[in-house]
Amino acid sequence: MEDRSYAKKVAVIGMGNVGSAFAYALMLRRLATDIVLLDLDQRRAEGEALDLKHGLPLVGPMNVYAGAYADCADADLVVVTAGANQKPGQTRLELLKQNAGIAADVVRRVLAAGGRPVFLMTTNPVDVLTRVALDVAVPLGLPAGRVFGSGTVLDSSRFRHLISRTIGADPRGVHASVLGEHGDSEVCVWSRANVSGIPLAEVMRLRGLDLDAAFMEQMALDVRRAAYTIIDRKGYTATAIGVALCRIVEAVLGDQKSILTVSTDAEGRYGLPRVCLSLPCLVGAEGVEGVIDAPLEPEEEAALKKSGDVLFESAKGLL
Ligand code: NAD
């Protein structure tokens, strides 16, 4: 029998803008040996698979195909991007009811097919849908760490980008996170922002800039408004979330123990209610393997608590 012990299989469920941008990035980055694509619209998944496959001679061998839930039985990771898209002016929380049913159905079907993958939820509102997915998966025997959401990995990347542009330095050296909801109540954590270990305020001072309240408020607003700004211009966001998902997939498939701001069960941490939201998490082969809930400044902790309350309230509509 063929030895497939090295194989890494990723299933992508939902081949719209986000699913296809992610699959494309995944193929280029060669993080998986097998990529299976699923969509309610089977022909769309087939079209995407063909389009990707035609690039394989220029990238390297990989098994890319359109499949069904049975193909998820041996997937290491299932990335869920199935659902409705955010329309201009529509808030993420308005998408809730429509997408909750889809998320629950997808998780049930993968588990019914015999799969025990790590689930990476992306469909919005991602924090609420991560909670929904957890509530389906855990009673069916999946460890809680194996279900988490992309959360604010993208928002943290946007935050880092804006800081790097302001100070004129390589964004890879900029360390800054956004915690809480992937959405309007998210929290930019200024107290821990640093550039290669040097506090951001210090770097800015040396650059002749002030990390004052007005600056922080404007940048936090720009981070929060980023998705609206893009959707207003191109109708959807997909490219950077595709890259962000690859970064998370890399951490899981490579068992990298990376600390990433993914959405996880946060109940009881920082006094939070029963919600999923983004905290700095240790991400490895088992999914979320730990949460680094280090102290925050009082105003940041209060904002995080408020974000948790917003999510808790919004999920009440599901009952
Ligand atoms: P899209 O409309 O282009 O694609 C959604 C796809 O899901 C469609 O192809 C549709 O056929 C498919 N689908 C619907 N129901 C399905 C089901 N039951 N099973 C399988 N497939 C199903 O939308 P998009 O632009 O790709 O966005 C997808 C989701 O990702 C949205 O909820 C969007 O808000 C979200 N999103 C999240 C982030 C993030 O950071 N978490 C970033 C961008 C977009």
Mutation probe of ligand 1 site: the residue of 20, 87, 124, 261 with most atoms within 8 A of C-beta? 124
CATH fold of 9-149, please?
Rossmann fold (3.40.50)
Q: How far is the CA of 241 from the centre of ligand 1 (A)?
A: 12
Question: Is the CB of residue 116 below 6 angstroms from any atom belonging to ligand 1?
Answer: no
Q: How far is the CA of 144 from the centre of ligand 1 (A)?
A: 23
Question: Could you confirm whether 182 is annotated as catalytic?
Answer: yes
Question: Is the CB of residue 16 below 6 angstroms from any atom belonging to ligand 1?
Answer: yes
Task: Give the start-to-end residue ranges of the domains of the chain.
Answer: 9-149, 153-314
Question: Is the CB of residue 82 below 6 angstroms from any atom belonging to ligand 1?
Answer: yes
* Tens-level pLDDT at each residue, the chain (319 residues): 678 888 999 999 999 999 999 999 999 999 999 999 999 999 999 999 999 999 999 999 999 999 999 999 999 999 999 997 667 777 766 778 889 999 999 999 999 999 999 999 999 999 999 999 999 999 999 999 999 999 999 999 999 999 999 999 999 999 999 999 999 999 999 999 999 999 999 999 999 999 999 999 999 999 999 999 999 999 999 999 999 999 999 999 999 999 999 999 999 999 999 999 999 999 999 999 999 998 999 999 999 999 999 999 988 877 5
Exposure string over 113-149, b if 16+ CB within 10 A, otherwise e? bebbbbbbbbbbbbbbbbbbbbbbbeeeebeebbbbb
Q: At 319, list the tokens.
A: 């009952």
Question: Is the CB of residue 75 below 6 angstroms from any atom belonging to ligand 1?
Answer: no
Say if residues 49 and 24 touch (Cβ distance below 8 Å): no
Question: Is the CB of residue 157 below 6 angstroms from any atom belonging to ligand 1?
Answer: no
The amino acid at residue 109 is: R
Chain mean position to CA 131: 14
Say if residues 99 and 125 touch (Cβ distance below 8 Å): yes
**Counting Cβ atoms within 10 Å, is residue 159 exposed (0-12), middle (13-18) or buried (19+)?**
buried
* DSSP code string of 43-107: HHHHHHHHHHHTTHHHH---EEEE--GGGGTT-SEEEE--SPPPPTT--GGGGHHHHHHHHHHHH
Using the structure block, give the residue that is written with the tokens 């025990």: 116
Which residue lies with its CA nearest to atom 25 of ligand 1? Answer: 17
Identify which of 251, 254, 317 has the alpha carbon closest to the alpha carbon of residue 288.
251
Looking at the structure, give the CATH architecture of the domain made up of residues 153-314.
Alpha-Beta Complex (3.90)
Using the structure block, give the residue that is written with the tokens 């990238």: 59
Number of the ligand 1 atom closest to the C-alpha atom of 92? 34
| Distance between CA atoms of residues 237 and 95, nearest Å | 15
> Residue 142: its pLDDT value, please?
98
| Distance between CA atoms of residues 18 and 21, nearest Å | 5
